[in-house]
Amino acid sequence: MLEEHERGTNTLAGARDHARGQAGEHGGPSTDAAVPGRVVWTDFVGPGDYAAVRLPRGAVLRLTDLEGDACVQLLVHNARQPAERLNVADTVKVQWQAYPGAGSLLLSDMGRVLMTVVEDTSAGHDALCGCTNRSTEAARSGGESGPWSAHPGARDLLLLGLAKHGLTRRDLPPCLDLFRGVRVADDGSLHLRPPGAPGATVALRAEVDVIVTLAVVRHPLDPRPGSSAGDVHIRAVTAPRPDPDPFRDTTPERRRAFENSDESRAGGLR
C-alpha cells in the first residue's frame, strides 16, 4: 500500500506540488540589460522559406501572422555555446504546461532560459508535433519534396538555416510550432486548432545571445497539400529589461530557470 505522501504524486497536480516542495529560495533579479531601441532584424518570410539570425541578449523578436494562416517552425540555440539549444520536452515538462503562451519560457537542455514569450495574441502554439520532413511533405503534396522543390519539408529548411551558422544535422532538435495550436483529447489523440486572425503576433525576448532559425511550412497535422503557409513579418528590436521582471517569478520552476541562467553568466558563459 502506498504511503500518504506517495499517493500525492499519482496526479499531475500532486507531482507538481511535490516537486515544488523540494525547492528552496534562491537568488535575486538579473541586472544585465540591453541598450534599447536598436532594430537588429527585420524581414518577411513566405511559405516554403526560412531565415536564421543571431540576436543579442535583450532583443525582442516579434513575429506577425499577416494572413491568419502562418505556421512558424522555431529553433533556438545559445549563440556563444551552440551545443546548448531549445529542448521542447523540458520546456513542456518543467513548466507543467503543454500549451505555450504569454509568460512561457523556452528552456534549453541545460535548464536555462533561452527566450521568454513576453506577448502573445495568437490562437495558440504547438510543442508536441515537431515539423514535416522530406517524406511526410512528399506524401502530403503528392509529389517530390526537398529543399529546392515546390513543397519543401520544414526539416530541410531548418537545416539550411543552421548551416549558415556552422551548425549541422546533429544540431537539429525538435522545434516549436508557432501560430498553430494542437489540443490533446481525453483519448490522447492530437487535434489541430483552427488558425487565428490576420495580424496575430507573438513576441519573444532573448535571455542570452541566441541563434534563431525558423521555417514557414504548414503544420504536420494540416491535411491540405503543399507547404504554403501564410506570410510572416519579422522584426527584432533591443528593448529595456523591466525591473522587476514580471516573468521571472511567475512560478518556482521559472524562477529557478532564470537563476540557472544567472549562474551561467556569472561563470563567464554568456
Query: Which of these ranges, 64-73, 138-147, 227-236, 238-247, has the smallest mean pLDDT?
Result: 138-147
pLDDT(186) > 50? yes
Q: 145 or 68, which is more confident?
A: 68
Angstrom CA distances, 72 to 14, 27, 77, 266, stand at: 34, 35, 16, 33
What the block records as the C-alpha cell of 31 is 541586472
The pLDDT of residue 16:
75
Per the CB < 8 A criterion, the answer to whether 114 and 108 are in contact is yes
Query: Which of these ranges, 18-22, 106-110, 184-188, has the smallest mean pLDDT?
Result: 18-22
Whole-structure pTM value: 0.85
Angstrom CA distances, 188 to 9, 29, 182, 197, stand at: 21, 39, 12, 27
d(CA 163, CA 171) in angstroms, rounded, equals: 10
pLDDT(267) > 70? yes
d(CA 198, CA 177) in angstroms, rounded, equals: 17
Per the CB < 8 A criterion, the answer to whether 238 and 59 are in contact is yes
d(CA 111, CA 92) in angstroms, rounded, equals: 12
The pLDDT of residue 215:
96
What does the pLDDT look like over 95-151, one tens digit per residue? 999 999 999 999 999 999 999 999 999 999 999 999 998 888 888 888 778 888 888
d(CA 40, CA 38) in angstroms, rounded, equals: 6
Domain locations in the chain as residue ranges? 40-240
Instruction: Band the pLDDT of 30: cuts 50, 70, 90.
Output: very low
Neighbours of 249 (CB within 10 A): 12
DSSP strand pairing (49-55 vs 210-216) = antiparallel
Nearest CA-CA partner of 211 in 51, 53, 59: 53
